[in-house]
Amino acid sequence: MKKCYTTVLTIAGSDGSGGAGIQADIKTFAALECFGLSVITALTAQNTIGVRSVYPVDEKCITEQFRSISEDIAIDAVKIGMLGSTSAIKTVASLIKELQGNPPVIVDTVLASSGGRPLLPPEAIPLMKKELFPLASLITPNLPETALLTGMKEPPATQEAIESAAVQLLETGAAAVLVKGGHGEGEECHDCLLYDNSFFWFSSKKIITGNTHGTGCTLSAAIAAFMAREESIDSAVGMAKEYINEALQAGAAYNLGNGCGPLHHLHRLWL
């Protein structure tokens, strides 16, 4: 009997500079021994310096991309990234409900670029919480996104505040919440996972590098890949954290562009 690929579908925007979005996801899936599939929700003109412009893909195109894949290929996990509009949120939520086999769905709450440019209109945030979060096996907001999603005036800065925010986000219907702590102060990164009525904390020393473009995309893609390989959520998060720390460390040795360069997604394959 022929061996089947482990597949992961990414539904996200394109980054022509290769550091984030669809391109980062596909490289991450390949690095973690999964076959990457994609549905593009937006085209962007961006580089290591920033996002110049965004061109949303219409609902019909998103739907045709998705159904062309799902009607032919079994999907073992889904990663959802940049959607960019209310119409895309509604369309993707509807399409996820069509999937057979109930694969894990990881929602990376992309609200703005790393340079601070908004990538989702503020009025679309309540819709994302209502339509997508109840379908998610895991959502992965960073600290600023956590504040926007919960209505906090400032990003949570203490363990108690982060855990409280995670509980609030879990009440939106997601099965699990990972509050990423990379934007926090100090020399260590502390990520909080709320899953199965328990808190799991993942702590590691921050890697000092200017090449961090696409870190959030890559982490959620790595979690999706490990969950496609049937790891539990807590195990997938731990393994993904290990992978991304290695990718950040390896990427620090390379220069690409004149701004914030990418991490090294394929560091385990480049000997």
The single residue of 28, 48, 109, 215 carrying the catalytic annotation is 215
Helix axes 143-150, 159-170, angle to 10 degrees: 50
| Residues 189 and 182: beta-carbon distance below 8 Å | yes
> In whole angstroms, what is the distance from residue 22 CA to residue 27 CA?
9
> In whole angstroms, what is the distance from residue 154 CA to residue 162 CA?
11
For the question of residue 44 being annotated catalytic, the response is: no
The single residue of 18, 216, 238, 261 carrying the catalytic annotation is 216
For the question of residue 216 being annotated catalytic, the response is: yes
For the question of residue 214 being annotated catalytic, the response is: yes
In Å, what is the CA distance from 148 to each residue of 36, 64, 103, 190, 201? 30, 32, 28, 19, 22
The single residue of 7, 28, 48, 212 carrying the catalytic annotation is 212
> In whole angstroms, what is the distance from residue 154 CA to residue 151 CA?
9
Phi, psi dihedral angles at 127 (to 5 degrees): -65, -40
The single residue of 214, 238, 251, 261 carrying the catalytic annotation is 214
Nearby residues of 3 by Cβ (< 8 Å), 6 or more positions away: none
DSSP letter, residue 72:
T
The single residue of 140, 180, 189, 241 carrying the catalytic annotation is 180
Please, is 186 exposed, middle or buried when counting C-beta atoms within 10 Å of its C-beta (0-12, 13-18, 19+)?
exposed
For the question of residue 212 being annotated catalytic, the response is: yes
For the question of residue 215 being annotated catalytic, the response is: yes
The single residue of 189, 192, 217, 260 carrying the catalytic annotation is 217
List the catalytic residues. 180, 212, 214-217
